Amino acid sequence: MKTHKLSQLAKTIRSKNAGVDLITFDVIFAKRETYERVKRAGVLTRETVCRLYRIGPERIADFVEFDPGNAIKFTIYRLRPSGSPGDPDIFGAQQYAPLLDVEVPDDAASGP
Amino acid sequence: MIGGHVDGEAAVDSLRIICPNGHLGFAPLRVESFRLGVAVRPDYIAADSGSDDVGPVPLATDTSASPLEWQMQDLEHMLLASRELGVPMIIGSSGDTGANSRVDLYVRIVRDLAVKHGLSRFRLGYFYSEVDREKLRRRMRAGETVPGLEGHPALTESELDATERIVAMAGVHPFIALLGQGADVIIGGRSSDSCVFAAPAIHHGFPEDQAYYLGKVLECASFCAEPYGGKETVLGEITRNAVEVTAMHPAQRCTVASVAGHAMYERSNPYFEHVAGGTLDMSACRYEQVAEKTTRVTGAKFRPADEFRVKLEGAGRIGERYVGMVGIRDPYTIAHVDEVIGWARDKVRERFGDGGYELHYTVYGRDGVMGELEPLRDRPAHELCILVQGVAPTANMAEEVCLIGTRQMFYARLPDVKGSAGSVAFALDEVLRASPACRWTLNHTLRCRDPLELFPTHMTAAGG
């Protein structure tokens, strides 16, 4: 099946602290139909995020499909609060990269 | 537009606030869009100056993460515009942390600026947010539980012992109290950024539903606009039924997508914003493009809490810290980098034992940025950089921990290595003193009977 990478479909893919104990991830689409298509494809769910980041389901603090923003958003617990010695990403700003390459199958009807 | 101060009723149809900076001092505001915002003649000029993004070091060591010059520059722009228009200026979370010393610093800067520019006399209100550790301990010993947020267990005395400084997160209450006393300028301790903007709206009698949403959308300045570009001024206007937000920069717009998208930023759930005294519920918000650069939002709902709880932030110092850095190019050594690190750790252990210090290795080129979350950690690059951090109670010991932990990587003994003259490359043959190692200790909430209990307000004068 033909696929596209999430980085080709999403307008914004980012990560950022949400307070000192959480990192939140936003995948935002410019068009409603692209957003709906990625939702339908089931490639971004609690389960796929756990597999991608190799974490247990208890690390996911929240997972929201945010229709008003055409966005899929999830939040994970840090193991230690931000800025503890050894924390390499105090702002949590560079944790999204693995999402870029998530493969999204093309719908029968639509291209990218 | 508004007339005078009227408490408790909407004597006016709308109120307009500009926000020039989402984190005053952290990077300078952009002057062009700020002047355009001032030209609109808003009723208030407001910004928050804090963030816990800067990590635990500033709060634990009672410093700012932002350079004094940048703090002064933004305060100067805002103060001069506020006095020129004759409208109040409000600052929350002074100096990154909102600690008492940061409030005093900002009050001093405002006073000095008033003298420097020969400003007419004005009323300068301020409030503190620090929570005394021993008072908190007494409340805990009297049986009060201090529950943790986001997975933290309830506060224990040992965590309190590890804490250097605590600030409470103010809601709208101290701002409203000071506006009621006729403050022309307010310098706040630690505050929820949305409350810096919600407070004047509530003070003028606008519904909490709209007021808290106004705060939510303005708090990060141009992060609610597109195209992306921080530190540009945005204008928010509140009426009884709606909030409208407008980008001031000529090339930016507040669109349905950018404003709705901003609800997600830096928060775990895009529908709810918790502040002292309640929760803003954005799940029924409707967004509408009403002009080229303006989006209108309706349907926000503020739900007062059953119990008045205030968030506490605390940070403590773990020890002094040194950093070292090495590089590796030999593919065999790269494949065995954990053994190289293990060798160096052993040497530190031989000198200092198993505890009483921390030693951290960050392996760039393998999993330096993401650590345990890195899916590609078994595919390291052709060269690695390793950052070594040594933490110990004294600077001397931290230096030695770090130096052994760095230099001994050079002597690591790998069985089949071809290069037998040194296992790593040094760009610097030394270790460098870094900021003290600190950590967040409190992310908890405290029940308060009086919303002003933790936030004593003061009024003074400046200028003329």
Q: Across the interface, do A24 and B260 touch by the CB < 8 Å criterion?
A: no
DSSP H or E stretch at residue A109: none
pLDDT at position A108:
57
Q: Is the pLDDT of residue B4 over 70?
A: no
Distance from CA of A28 to the nearest CA of B (A): 8
The C-alpha angle B60, B46, B38, rounded to 5 degrees, equals 140
pLDDT at position A110:
53
Q: Which tens digit of pLDDT belongs to each residue from B113-152? A: 999 999 999 999 999 999 999 999 999 999 999 999 988 8
Q: Across the interface, do A71 and B438 touch by the CB < 8 Å criterion?
A: no
Q: Which of A12, A83, A86 sits opposite B55 (nearest CB)?
A: A83
Q: Which of A68, A84, A95 sits opposite B439 (nearest CB)?
A: A84
Q: Across the interface, do B269 and A79 touch by the CB < 8 Å criterion?
A: no
Chosen for mutation from B26, B228, B267 (greatest number of chain A CBs closer than 10 Å) is B267
Distances (CA, A) of B455 to A101, B189, B416: 48, 8, 65
Q: Which tens digit of pLDDT belongs to each residue from A39-63? A: 999 999 999 999 999 999 999 999 9
Chain B residues inside the 8 Å CB shell of A96: none
pLDDT at position B12:
79
Number of other residues whose CB lies within 10 A of the CB of residue A96: 18
Chain A residues inside the 8 Å CB shell of B53: 17, 82, 90-91
What length does chain B have? 464
Distance from CA of A74 to the nearest CA of B (A): 7
Q: Which tens digit of pLDDT belongs to each residue from B347-401? A: 999 999 999 999 999 999 999 999 999 999 999 999 999 999 999 999 999 999 9
Query: Among candidates A74, A92, A61, which has minimal Cα distance to A28?
Result: A74
Distance from CA of B379 to the nearest CA of A (A): 14
- Give just the sign of the alpha carbon dihedral B406, B440, A20, B28: negative
Q: Which tens digit of pLDDT belongs to each residue from B59-93? A: 999 999 999 999 999 999 999 999 999 999 999 99
Cis preceding linkage at B227, omega within 30: yes
Identify the weakest region by mean pLDDT among B130-139, B200-209, B263-272, B443-452: B263-272
The C-alpha angle B197, B257, B15, rounded to 5 degrees, equals 25
Confidence of residue B3 (pLDDT cuts 50, 70, 90): very low
Chain B residues inside the 8 Å CB shell of A58: none
Confidence of residue A86 (pLDDT cuts 50, 70, 90): very high
Nearest CA in chain B to A86: B360
Q: Across the interface, do A54 and B375 touch by the CB < 8 Å criterion?
A: yes
**B224 φ/ψ sector (left φ>0, alpha ψ -120 to 50, else beta):** alpha
Confidence of residue B242 (pLDDT cuts 50, 70, 90): very high
Both tokens of B13, joined, read 């149809």
Q: Across the interface, do B261 and A54 touch by the CB < 8 Å criterion?
A: no
Chosen for mutation from B150, B152, B312 (greatest number of chain A CBs closer than 10 Å) is B150
Q: Across the interface, do B362 and A97 touch by the CB < 8 Å criterion?
A: no
Q: Is the pLDDT of residue B8 over 50?
A: no
Share of chain B above pLDDT 90, in %: 92
Q: Is the pLDDT of residue B10 over 60?
A: no
Distance from CA of B1 to the nearest CA of A (A): 31
Q: Collect all residues from A whose CB is shorter than 8 A from any CB in B.
A: 12, 16-22, 24, 26, 28, 30, 52-55, 61-62, 64, 66, 68-71, 73, 75, 77, 79-86, 88-91, 94-95, 97-98
Confidence of residue B408 (pLDDT cuts 50, 70, 90): very high
Q: Which tens digit of pLDDT belongs to each residue from B181-231? A: 999 999 999 999 999 999 999 999 999 999 999 999 999 999 999 998 999
CA B361 to chain centre: 27
What length does chain A have? 112
Q: Which tens digit of pLDDT belongs to each residue from A94-107? A: 999 999 999 999 87
Q: Across the interface, do B372 and A71 touch by the CB < 8 Å criterion?
A: no
Rounded to whole angstroms, the Cα distance separating B182 from B122 reads 10
